[in-house]
Amino acid sequence: MSTSMTMRRALAAPGLLCAVAALLVTAGCGQPPAAAQLFPLEPGRSWVYRTVTELEDNTRDEETITLRTLGKDTLTVEQAAEPGPAWHRHSDGGADYWLRADDTGIYRVASKSELDAEPQPDATRRYVLKAPYTVGTQWQTDTAPYLLMENTNFPRETRHRHPAVPMLFSITAVDTAVEADGRRYTGCTQVQGNGQIRIFSSSVGGWRDVPIVAREWYCPGVGLVRLEREELVGSSGLVFGGKLVMELVEES
């Protein structure tokens, strides 16, 4: 599978955006005002992102990803640790996921890949944003090294061998501005995530800790506007990483 397709499927889910992300609803109720402003999910909304991936092997990929909110589904006890209604988001990369919001924040409760017949429940809440939406608020969630590649293993993607890497997220700025696709957005909330993974880089470099850094901007009435992710190894014969930038180019 190409690096482009791998990133398309991986980053379409939250955490990244995981994520995306990146990438809600109060069970049985409407969205709280803050959540609705920073991560709107009313039915019919869509977001188109341009992603640019630059790897340390000097390859570069550019593509677009479209996310859509399909409406509210009711999840069963088999589909979510906390059954009940949740907003359903779909990515044209083949990923589906379900989100909610309450007084604690905005979080994912289930996801489904192209290979899954039914939604797969998250063991615990996977927060996209955690309340209060003020500087210093922190939370932890697992991520995967989506950009790291290993020349001596198959499949090459390191995430197949390290699917869960703890990452600490924090709100670093509020009421800030950000640019995406030539447009300027104001009143935004900025989030930064930091983690690291220990890998064997080469016979010369030995074992090293590779930092994983994510920066995300959520803007009122729009949602996720920009995401940056870095997994940089430096000089290494066995493993290489890269950086990714995802920008909003269209929303409706």
Closest to 45 measured CA to CA, from 68, 23, 14: 68
Report the side by side order of strands in the sheet with 84-91: 120-130, 105-112, 96-102, 84-91, 60-75, 46-55, 242-251, 223-231, 206-219, 183-202, 165-180, 138-143
Pairing state of beta strands 149-150 and 239-240? antiparallel
Q: Enumerate long-range contacts of 22-25, CB under 8 Å, 24 or more apart.
A: 22/128, 22/216, 22/224, 22/227, 23/67, 23/97, 23/128, 23/224, 23/227, 24/86, 24/87, 24/99, 24/100, 24/101, 24/106, 24/107, 24/128, 25/72, 25/85, 25/86, 25/87, 25/99, 25/100, 25/101
**By three-state DSSP, how is residue 34 classified?**
helix
DSSP classification of residue 49: E
Listed as ranges, residues in the chain with pLDDT below 50 are 1-30
pLDDT of residue 155: 78
> Is the pTM of the predicted complex or chain greater than 0.85?
no
Give the domain extent around 154: 3-251
* Helix or strand holding residue 50 (H, E): strand 46-55
How many folded domains does the chain comprise? 1
